[in-house]
Each structure stands twice: as C-alpha cells, then as structure tokens.
C-alpha cells in the first residue's frame, strides 16, 4: 500500500478519519507513508522520540510499559503513538510487532494540524473534550440537542375540540398535523385563541381548517442560535424539526431561551430560594438537561460532576433550613455530611443519597427524636428531588448513622482495629465524608485523626487494599471487553462498578496511605502524584484512564437523555467505534495494572 489513492481508501474506513471532507482526506493520505514491520521488530521504545502517529493496516502491535508489562495488543484500524505526541515528550511505552504488520505513518505536524482543524479528530484524541468557552457554547450547539423528540401529532381530520383537549391534558403549546410522518401543518395555543375562541368557530370542525400549513421547518443539525434568530425575525414560537422530510422533533422559543440561559447557577438559585419541596423538585428535574448542555459544551468530567454535586449540596442545605423552620431550632449543634459520590463531588445523572449526622456530645437521649425527624425530613426531600434512598440504608435516617461525635470516633477506631469485611465496606464509604451543612467544627480534627490512625495500621490498610480489588475492570479474553452475562443489562458494560469504582477505590487507598485530605478521586490521585505516593508515569496513566472512562460515562448518559431515556451506567460496547473500544480497553488495562501493583504490596514506587 503505497499509492495515495490506496491510503485514502483505507483511511476513509477508519474512525475518526472517515469524518473528514474528501479534500482533507486526500491531503492527509498524501502526507502519509506506509511502513511494514517484521515480527519482533520494535516500532519505538521507552525514551524514544515519537515523530508519527501510527495506524495499523494489518497485523498486530503489543504495547508494554517501562517494566515491559503488557498494556494492550492492537490490531487493524487501531492507532498508537498519540500519547507521546500529545504530551510532547519521549515515549513512556514500547511498541513491538508480534506479527508481520503494515502501518500508515501520519507525521506529527499533520496530526496536530488535524486536531486543530477538525473538532471530530480532537475529540477522539483528547477525550476530555474541546476547551470551549461556555459563553460561546450556543454558537456551536445544534438544535437536535434541545428539541423535543417525537412531538405530539394528530391527523388533519381530528376535531378541533379533541386537539384542544389533548393539548390541555398534556400541557403542551402546539400539535403537529401529519399524514403518517409527513408534516402538513401546525396548530398552537395562539391559533386556538385567535381562530376559534375569538371568532366563535365550531369546535367540531377538522383541525386542518385552522392549522398553519407548510410551517417553517429546520434540519436537526441547524445551529440553535440560527433557529432562535429565525423565530425572533418571523415572530413565531414553534419550529418543527425535519430529517429527510420526516418529522423528528419540535423546538419552541422557550426551549431555546431556556437552553441559552440555563446553568448550574440558575438551578442552584431556584433551589436555594424554594419554599417547598415541590419547588425544589421542579428545579432539580432540570439536571438531565444541564448534564447534556455541560457535555455538549466540552466541559471536563470533573467540572461537570462538581457542578451537578453543587446542586445536591444546595438542596441539602435548603432542606435543613426548611426542616428547622418546621421542627424548631436544633437543641444542640449538628453537622450533616455526605459520603459516596456526593461526598466526592462526583455526582452524575444517576445518583442516590449517602449521608449521616454528627451530633454534639452534649446531646441527650430525649433530644434524639428531633434529629430523627430532621433526618427523615431531609432524606424524604432529597428523594423527592431525584436523589433516591440509598439501597444499603447508608443514610442519616438510620439511627446507626445519626450519632454524637464520640460514637463516630469509636466507629472509626473499631473499623481500623478490627477490619472485618463489614468494617472494610463501611470504612470505604465513610472515608469519603464531606461536611454539607451545620457546625463544621464537629468534623475538624476527626478526619486528621482517622487518616493518621489508618496510615499507621498496616493490617488495616492491607485489608482495605484487598477490599478495593473486588471491583475489576471489564477485561475479557482475546483483547475483548467483558460484558454482563445475564439479566436486564446483558451484553452491556457497567461503567460505574467496573469502570469508575475501581479508580475511586485506588484513589481512596492512596489517600489513606499518604494521609491525604481530598475526597475527590481525581484530586486524590493528583495529591498522591505530588506527594510521591505514586510513580509519575503510573499516576499520569491512571489520570488519563480515569478521564477517558468518566467522560465516556457522562457522554453515554447525555446521549440517553437526548434520546428521551433515563440516564444509566450501562453501555452497549457495540455502539462504540473500533477506535473508541480500543482506547476504552487500554484505559481498563491501565486500571488493572495499577490494581496489580498496589495488590502486590509494592505500591507504585516499588
């Protein structure tokens, strides 16, 4: 394969190059060279300067780390070498041919030019997403990201009164008139008012008599700002979305202005000012749309989860305030703390509640019912706002997790002294505690005491390490991904328990061993790197793996929301391109490697 035409045909079959315009693809092919490697040949080794991105045409490339431990085995249509190129440093891995291998070499200059010129290329080689200014997001957002899919429709002969009743019952402001999926017209509330109520038109007439025929329509890829400008110019409030002459959605001016104005700050403001739980629930119901907006805006995963968690924190504090208004002032100081994903500031579109109460040691038995009522009020309110009850009952409503600070100290001391399986499980949850509302002095000192005691007890940390290895990355045989074998989510990947949780567990172990205070997983790994508790290459690889897996999880959830489904953590790997599956598997291999290192007792510096 030496001719540019042959290179062009092959690259056109490989993602993400298949998204390039024909002229750009031809230019790319002309800048490339084809190189063959015999079995056993080293393409590059640790410390080498990498000058190309390699694309495998046929054959097999094995990638290993500094210790020659296997990282991944790559086949046709996979790329390698981008790690060193993007970091602009010498290779931290070795790539060898394990079979006769044909490759295409894309020069570094061409590679960076593609990333700069084409967002599709940049997204696939930097899974953290483009560094886009949120203020400019609406200029690049397409209308299919904010439209209502599968809009309400009716046949042209439907009586006006039936359409009006349908609009009232479903609380919508328009109905599309269709013949099958072919759009004939649209009727809005304004039409009903102006053409029926104001004129006394009989309500038994067919809806076709008052519809606006052949309304303005746009395609799904039309920019939101362009649609909004059309609406303002033509003084219309509803625009159907057609794809290949088929009705696929509708968007209103309210949808667009809400999308333009909606932010985490707006939801936080509404929650903080809510006077009832129902008002709060109306605000938190916007979180899935916010998730889509933040993902589409190219925000990093840790920013997205932080902003979403801020809403949960605000809801919790507002519920505490409403509870004290109803129950009266607290008899003694207290502190509400979150653990789990809220404690780590890592909430996504799917989050339950994990929380507890620490009480001043002056509390008396006859005052405990007050805190039981307080916990129930807040927990019920969070559930109503979409933060469902913890299936494991790790909530302040459980008397075990509503105790004076002295009891909490005893809890941690006993878990560290006798790390049985239950103690390991409880410690894993409670080491992610973060104060949310109340008297924070009740927690001051306790965290430092616990970290100090835990780091000194080698038996406890060994048990915690063993417990952290119970969640394994979904790696299958023959370079595949291990999916769930049965049940509702058969053939899917669990991006929570087999994706991010193993990394969360590693971050927690680093924090315990290094007496590091952060609760956030990425912050823990970064702190471990800064403290020398993990090797620079191992820590950097783990951060990259975490970024990829966490970003994939959020993009999957955003895609479900766009499709009108509830977000989940279960991803069908067949929906990914070969490129995406290869990189996702590489990330899981990194996690497995780090688990093996810490499980061997060597840490990451041994």
Mean pLDDT check: name the lowest of 138-152, 399-413, 544-558, 569-583: 138-152
Most confident listed range (114-128, 289-303, 555-569)? 555-569
Please check the confidence at residue 605 and state whether its pLDDT lies above 80.
no
345 or 73: which leads in pLDDT: 345
Give the span between the Cα atoms of 580 and 494, in whole angstroms: 16
Q: What is the pLDDT of residue 213?
A: 94
| Mean pLDDT to the nearest integer, 243-253 | 90
Convert the pLDDT of each residue in 7-24 to its tens digit: 888 888 787 787 788 888
Q: What is the pLDDT of residue 606?
A: 35
**Cβ-based neighbour number of residue 406 at 10 Å:** 11
Pairing relation of β-strands 355-359 and 402-404? parallel
Q: What is the pLDDT of residue 165?
A: 94
Which one, of 214, 206, 212, lies nearest residue 189 by Cα? 212
pLDDT band at 130 (very low <50, low <70, confident <90, very high): very low
Convert the pLDDT of each residue in 453-481 to its tens digit: 888 888 998 888 988 888 889 988 656 78
Q: What is the pLDDT of residue 327?
A: 97
Give the span between the Cα atoms of 258 and 273, in whole angstroms: 19
Q: What is the pLDDT of residue 257?
A: 65
| Strand ranges for 473-550 from DSSP E | 493-494
Phi, psi of 594 (to 5 degrees): -70, -35
Convert the pLDDT of each residue in 438-450 to its tens digit: 998 999 888 888 8
pLDDT band at 429 (very low <50, low <70, confident <90, very high): confident
Q: What is the pLDDT of residue 129?
A: 41
567, 288 contact by CB (below 8 A):
yes
Please check the confidence at residue 126 and state whether its pLDDT lies above 90.
no
| Mean pLDDT to the nearest integer, 283-294 | 90
pLDDT band at 255 (very low <50, low <70, confident <90, very high): confident
Q: What is the pLDDT of residue 288?
A: 92
Please check the confidence at residue 128 and state whether its pLDDT lies above 50.
no
Where are the alpha helices (H) located in 297-439, listed in sequence order? 301-327, 340-343, 368-384, 405-417, 421-430
Q: What is the pLDDT of residue 115?
A: 85
Q: Enumerate residues 6+ apart whose C-beta is below 8 A from 148.
A: 249, 250, 251, 255
How many CA atoms lie less than 13 Å away from 574 in the CB half-sphere?
4
Q: What is the pLDDT of residue 261?
A: 54
Please check the confidence at residue 206 and state whether its pLDDT lies above 80.
yes
Give the span between the Cα atoms of 230 and 199, in whole angstroms: 29
Q: What is the pLDDT of residue 9?
A: 82
Q: What is the pLDDT of residue 521?
A: 95
| Mean pLDDT to the nearest integer, 227-255 | 86
DSSP category for residue 496: I
DSSP category for residue 14: S
| Mean pLDDT to the nearest integer, 192-214 | 94
Mean pLDDT, rounded, of the chain: 87
pLDDT band at 595 (very low <50, low <70, confident <90, very high): very high
Q: What is the pLDDT of residue 136?
A: 46
In this structure, CATH architecture of domain 469-599: Up-down Bundle (1.20)
Mean pLDDT check: name the lowest of 102-111, 279-288, 307-316, 577-586: 577-586
Please check the confidence at residue 133 and state whether its pLDDT lies above 50.
no
| Mean pLDDT to the nearest integer, 197-222 | 92
Fold of 4-126: Jelly Rolls (2.60.120)
Convert the pLDDT of each residue in 162-186 to its tens digit: 999 999 998 899 999 999 878 999 9
CATH class of domain segment(s) 262-465: alpha beta
Which residue ranges does the chain devote to CATH 2.60.120.10? 4-126
Please check the confidence at residue 374 and state whether its pLDDT lies above 50.
yes
Which residue ranges does the chain devote to CATH 3.10.580.10? 143-253
Residue holding tokens 């809400």?
Answer: 258
Residue holding tokens 């042959």?
Answer: 6
Q: What is the pLDDT of residue 501?
A: 95
Q: What is the pLDDT of residue 16?
A: 79
Q: What is the CATH number of domain 143-253?
A: 3.10.580.10
**Cβ-based neighbour number of residue 58 at 10 Å:** 15
Q: What is the pLDDT of residue 116?
A: 80
Which residue ranges does the chain devote to CATH 1.20.120? 469-599
Residue 11's region, left for phi above 0, alpha for psi from -120 to 50, else beta, is alpha
Give the span between the Cα atoms of 35 and 51, in whole angstroms: 14
pLDDT > 70: percent of the chain: 93
Which residue ranges does the chain devote to CATH 3.30.460.10? 262-465
Give the span between the Cα atoms of 376 and 104, in whole angstroms: 62
Q: What is the pLDDT of residue 137?
A: 53
């Amino acid at each position: 394969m030496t001719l540019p035409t042959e290179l062009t045909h092959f690259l056109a079959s490989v993602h993400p190059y298949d998204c390039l315009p024909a002229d750009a693809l031809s230019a790319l092919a002309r800048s490339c060279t084809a190189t063959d490697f015999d079995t056993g040949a080293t393409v590059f080794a640790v410390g080498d300067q990498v000058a190309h991105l390699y694309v495998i045409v046929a054959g097999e490339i094995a990638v290993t780390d500094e210790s020659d431990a296997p990282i991944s085995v790559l086949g046709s249509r996979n790329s390698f070498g981008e790690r060193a190129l993007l970091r602009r440093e010498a290779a931290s891995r070795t790539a060898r041919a394990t079979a006769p291998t044909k490759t295409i070499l894309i020069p570094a200059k061409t590679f960076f030019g593609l990333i700069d010129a084409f967002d599709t290329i940049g997204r696939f080689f930097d899974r953290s997403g483009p560094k886009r200014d949120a203020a400019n997001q609406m200029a690049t957002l397409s209308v299919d990201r904010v439209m209502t899919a599968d809009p309400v429709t009716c046949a042209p002969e439907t009586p006006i009164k039936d359409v009006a009743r349908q609009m009232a019952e479903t609380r919508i402001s328009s109905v599309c008139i269709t013949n099958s999926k072919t759009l004939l017209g649209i009727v809005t509330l304004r039409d009903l008012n102006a053409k029926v109520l104001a004129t006394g038109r009989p309500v038994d007439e067919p809806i076709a008599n008052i519809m606006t025929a052949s309304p303005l329509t746009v395609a799904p890829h039309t920019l939101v700002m362009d649609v909004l400008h059309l609406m303002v110019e033509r003084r219309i409030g509803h625009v159907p979305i057609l794809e290949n002459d088929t009705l696929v959605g509708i968007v209103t001016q309210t949808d667009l202005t809400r999308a333009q104005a909606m932010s985490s700050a707006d939801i936080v403001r509404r929650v903080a000012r809510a006077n009832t739980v129902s008002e709060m629930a109306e605000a938190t119901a916007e979180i899935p749309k916010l998730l889509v907006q933040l993902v589409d805006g190219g925000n990093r995963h840790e920013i997205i989860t932080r902003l979403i968690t801020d809403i949960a924190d605000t809801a919790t504090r507002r519920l505490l305030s409403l509870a004290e208004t109803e129950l009266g002032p607290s008899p003694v100081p207290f502190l509400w703390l979150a653990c789990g994903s809220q404690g780590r500031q890592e909430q996504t579109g799917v989050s339950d509640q994990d929380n507890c109460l620490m009480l001043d040691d002056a509390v008396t038995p006859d005052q405990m019912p007050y805190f039981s009522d307080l916990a129930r009020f807040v927990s019920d309110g969070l559930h109503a706002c979409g933060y469902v009850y913890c299936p494991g009952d790790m909530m302040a409503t459980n008397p075990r997790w509503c105790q004076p600070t002295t009891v909490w100290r005893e809890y941690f001391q006993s878990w560290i002294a006798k790390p049985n399986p239950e103690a390991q499980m409880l410690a894993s949850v409670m080491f992610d505690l973060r104060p949310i509302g109340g008297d924070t002095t009740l927690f001051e000192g306790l965290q430092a005491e616990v970290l100090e005691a835990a780091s000194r007890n080698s038996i406890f940390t060994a048990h915690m390490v063993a417990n952290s290895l119970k969640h394994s990355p979904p790696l299958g045989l023959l370079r595949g991904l291990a999916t769930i074998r049965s049940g509702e989510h058969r053939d899917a990947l669990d991006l929570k328990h087999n994706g991010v949780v193993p990394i969360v567990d590693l971050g927690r172990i680093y924090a315990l061993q290094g007496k590091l205070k952060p609760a956030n997983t990425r912050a823990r790994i970064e702190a471990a790197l800064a403290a020398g508790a993990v090797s620079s290459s191992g820590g950097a690889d783990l951060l990259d793996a975490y970024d990829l897996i966490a970003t994939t999880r959020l993009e999957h959830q955003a895609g479900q929301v766009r499709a009108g489904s509830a977000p989940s953590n279960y991803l069908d790997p067949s929906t990914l391109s070969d490129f995406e599956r290869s990189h996702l598997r590489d990330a899981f291999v990194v996690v497995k490697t780090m688990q093996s290192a810490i499980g061997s007792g060597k840490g990451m510096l041994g």
